[in-house]
Structure 1
Amino acid sequence: MSARADTDDYRALFLAAVPLLDTRAPAEFERGAFPTARNLPLMTDDERAAVGTCYKQRGQAAAIALGHELVAGEVREARLAAWAAFARAHPDGYLYCFRGGLRSEIVQRWLAEAGIAYPRVRGGYKALRRFLIDSLAKSIAGLDIVLVSGRTGSGKTRLLPLLPRSVDLEGLAKHRGSTFGRLLEPQPTQIDFENALAIALLRHAEGGRQTVYLEDEGHNIGRLYLPPPLRERMAVAPRIELDHPLADRVEVVLEDYVIDLGERFRAAAGDDGPARHRERLQGDLARARKRLGGERYQAVSALMDAAFAAQARGEGLDGHRAWIARLLAEYYDPMYDYQAAQRDGPVLARGRREELATWAAQRDRAHEQ
C-alpha cells in the first residue's frame, strides 16, 4: 500500500464519503460519529478511563506507559489485525482519534510497523465536527430551500425522491415525524443527526445556489431537534403543498403505520409482533389524549382495538381505515389548517405528488437555462 499524506481537507472527505477509521473509545463514538466511520478503538472505555486517571495523578509519561501496558500482547495483536483489515478493505480511507493526537499517532505507527502506510486526519474528530457545524450554517445560507408541505397522509416523504434535489429529514432522524412516528430502530444521537444533515446539505451546496426540497417539519422529529439556523430558515421558506383527498391519505397512513410497521414488528418479535404493534399504536394514541380530548380519544381507541381484533380474525383492514379517517379528519386536519395559517412563506404550487414532481422538474430546467 503506497503512502498517502495526512489530510485536513475535511470537505473532500465528506463529499467523497471516504471511509474513516475511528480510534476513539466506544463511549466517545456512541456520543457522536460520522456516517462513513467505523469504530475500532485503541482502548476500551475502561482502559481509557484508567489512563486518564493515571495522567491526572502521575503525568503524561506514566499515562502513556500504562496505555502500552494495557494494550499489549494478544490484545495489541488483535486490535492491530482489525485496523489492518480495515486499511486493506478501504485503501482510500483515513484514521483519526479525538484531536488527531497521540492515539491516532500510535495506531498509525503500529500499522506502519506492520507494513501498512495509512494516513491520519489532522485535527481528528474535533476538527471534522467543527467543519460540519460551520458548513451547515453556510449551506443553509447558500441554498434555496423549498418545503414540501401537506396534510398528514399526503405522502410528503414519497414525493421527496421524485424531486430534483431533496433531503429526507425524517429518514436521517429515523422517525416519521408524527405522534405515531417511532420506528423499531432507535433514533441516532443529536450529533449524528446533525452530522448527517450537514453532509447532505454540503453535497447539494457544491453545485452553487441550488434549490433543495425539505419536508415541512416542526421543531422536533421525535426526540431530535432541528438545528436553529435551519429551523429559522424553514419558518419563512416558500413551499409546495400536496393536496390529496382524505381517502388517498387514509391509504398512505394505512401503508405506513399498519402494514409496514406491522411487518416490522412481526419480523422483530415473531408471533408476538401483532400484540406489540397494537400496544405501540395504543400507547402513541394515549400520549395524544389531552390534545384529542377524552371523548374523541376513547372513540378512536375503541375503533383501533376493534380493527386489530378484526385483522386477527382475518377480516381485512377496513377497521383500521375507520380510526385513521376519524383521526385525520377530526384531529390532524384542523391542526394543519391552523398551523398553515400562521406561516409566512408563500405557496409556490399545489397539487398531487405527480403534478408537483412535474412542476419541480420544469422549474429546475427553467433555472438552468
Structure 2
Amino acid sequence: MNNVKTITIDEIDAKHYLLFDVRSPKEFEEYHIPSAYNVSIFSNEERAEIGTLYKQDSKEAAMERGLQIVAPKLPNIYKKIHSKSKEQPEKQVVIYCARGGFRSKSIAETMNMMGMGTLQLHGGIRSYRKKIESTLKKMVDEPRKIIVIEGHTGTMKTKLLKQLQEEGYPVLNLEEMAGHKGSIFGNIGEHPTSQKEFESRLYERLKKLEDSSSFIIESESKRIGRAVVPDFLLEGKYSGVRIHVELPFHLRVRYICNVYEPLLHKDEIVEAVNKLSKRIPSSIMVDMQENLISLNYEKVVSLLLENYYDPKYDYAQKQYDSKCIKLTSHSYSDIYSQVKNQLDHLFS
C-alpha cells in the first residue's frame, strides 16, 4: 500500500479540508471536530469486540478480526466519502480516528488507491483535544474581564445572551454549549453534551473571541447538566462586573412556560417536580401535583418560583461582593436596551 501523507490539526481549516471521522458512533457522539462527517468502520459493538480481542488475545487477532469486519464495508465507505467529496470538490479529504492509528490510515490508504488524494490527521482527534486543553490553560494564565448577566429564574437571560451574540458581543453561551438549560428541569427538550463536547464548543467560541478583552456570561453553577464549567469562568463570575436584570413575575412565568413547552414534555415535568419533593413543603407539593394533573402549568411555575427558585437565588446572591448594576423593566425589549447601554459603557 502507498504511504499516506499526514496533516496536523494546526494546518486544518473548514474552508479547504473535508473531514471524515471513522471512529464508532459512540465515540463520535461524545465529541468530534466541528464539520466532520462520521463514517464509522466499526459499530459500537464491533469496536468493543475488537478491543476485547486486543486485550485478551493479541494485536494480530484483533487486526485480523477488524479486517474481516471492515472488508465488506469498504465499497459503501468509499461511496459515502466520494459522494461528499463531489459536493465540495475544492476541498481535500482528511481522515481521522482516535490517535491517528490503524483505523484512519487504512481508510486513507484505500481512498488513495481509489484516486482520491486523501490525507490522514496526525495524532487523530487527540491532537484536537490537546489544542482545546492548551487554550483553556491559556485562559487561566491570561484571564479576561468577565461581565455576568444575572437575575431570577425566568428573567430571559438566555434570550438576552443569544441576541447579544447575534449583534457581535463577546458572549459565551454556556447553557447552549452544554445542551442544558440549567436547574433540575434543564435537560427537558435538550440533548446534554459530554464534557469533551462542551469544551470543544467552548474552544471554538474562544477562538472567535481571541482578540476580545472581555467575555459576557450568564451566572451559572459549577455544573450545567453533564458539563463542568472551567474555573477561570467561575472565578470571573465572582470577581467580574454583574448586571442584574429584573422583570415582572407574570412575564417570567409566561417565558418559562414558552421555553419549556410543558404540554410536549408532561412526563419529564412531573418527574422533575417530584425530585424536588424533599425541598418544598408538602402542602405546596400537593398544590403543584393538582395543577400538574389539570395542566395548569403557569400555576405550577408560579409555585416553583415562589417556594424554591426565588428564595434559593436570593440566598446565593449573598455570596457576592463584586460590583452589581441593577436594571429593572416591564418589557423584554426595554431591558435588552438597558443591558446594551451598560455593556457599551463598560466596553468604552
Fold agreement, TM-score > 0.5: yes
Identical residues among aligned pairs (%): 26
Structure 1 outlier segments of 4+, above 6 Å: none
Measured in 2, the distance between the counterparts of 1:348 and 1:291 equals 31
Q: Deviations over 1:11-44 (max 9, x none)?
A: 8648x69653111233332333234232212333
Give the counterpart letter for 2:121 in structure 1: V
CA contact (8 A) 2:94 2:118 kept: yes
- Pick from 337, 340, 343 the counterpart of residue 358 of structure 1: 337
2:279 paired with 1:291? yes
Tell me which residue corresponds to 2:36. 37
Distance verdict in 2 for CA 1:24–1:221, change over 3 Å: same
2:217 paired with 1:238? no
Distance verdict in 2 for CA 1:350–1:19, change over 3 Å: farther
Measured in 2, the distance between the counterparts of 1:112 and 1:235 equals 54
Partner secondary structure for residue 148 of structure 1 = strand
Partner secondary structure for residue 149 of structure 2 = strand
Give the counterpart letter for 2:267 in structure 1: E
Q: Deviations over 1:59-107 (max 9, x none)?
A: 55565454334322x4221122222223333425532111112222221
Q: Deviations over 1:106-133 (max 9, x none)?
A: 2111111111112222111111111112
Give the counterpart letter for 1:241 in structure 2: H
- Pick from 333, 336, 354 the counterpart of residue 313 of structure 2: 336
Taking structure 1 as the reference length, the TM-score comes to 0.79
Tell me which residue corresponds to 1:314. none
Measured in 2, the distance between the counterparts of 1:93 and 1:345 equals 50
Tell me which residue corresponds to 1:128. 128
Q: Gaps spanning 5+ residues in structure 2: where?
A: none
**More displaced 10-residue stretch of structure 1: 357-366 or 133-142:** 357-366
Taking structure 2 as the reference length, the TM-score comes to 0.83
Give the counterpart letter for 1:345 in structure 2: S
Distance verdict in 2 for CA 1:60–1:176, change over 3 Å: closer
Measured in 2, the distance between the counterparts of 1:43 and 1:343 equals 51
Partner secondary structure for residue 119 of structure 2 = coil
Q: Report how many aligned residue pairs link the two structures.
A: 336
Tell me which residue corresponds to 1:112. 112
Distance verdict in 2 for CA 1:223–1:288, change over 3 Å: farther
| Aligned-pair Cα RMSD in Å | 3.0
Measured in 1, the distance between the counterparts of 2:34 and 2:159 equals 23
Measured in 2, the distance between the counterparts of 1:211 and 1:128 equals 25
Partner secondary structure for residue 24 of structure 1 = coil
Deviation at 1:151, TM superposition (A): 0.5
Q: For 1:121-270, what aligned pairs fall within 5 Å after superposition?
A: 121-139=121-139, 141-163=142-164, 164-205=169-210, 208-257=211-260, 260-262=261-263, 265=264
Deviation at 1:161, TM superposition (A): 2.2
Measured in 1, the distance between the counterparts of 2:221 and 2:227 equals 11
Distance verdict in 2 for CA 1:367–1:289, change over 3 Å: closer
Distance verdict in 2 for CA 1:18–1:248, change over 3 Å: farther
Tell me which residue corresponds to 1:273. none
Tell me which residue corresponds to 1:86. 84
Give the counterpart letter for 2:187 in structure 1: R
Measured in 2, the distance between the counterparts of 1:57 and 1:225 equals 35
Deviation at 1:249, TM superposition (A): 1.2
Deviation at 1:53, TM superposition (A): 5.1
CA contact (8 A) 2:262 2:297 kept: no
Q: Gaps spanning 5+ residues in structure 1: where?
A: 266-276, 309-318
Deviation at 1:149, TM superposition (A): 0.6
Measured in 2, the distance between the counterparts of 1:180 and 1:368 equals 34
Structure with a larger share of its residues in helix: 1
Measured in 2, the distance between the counterparts of 1:57 and 1:325 equals 58
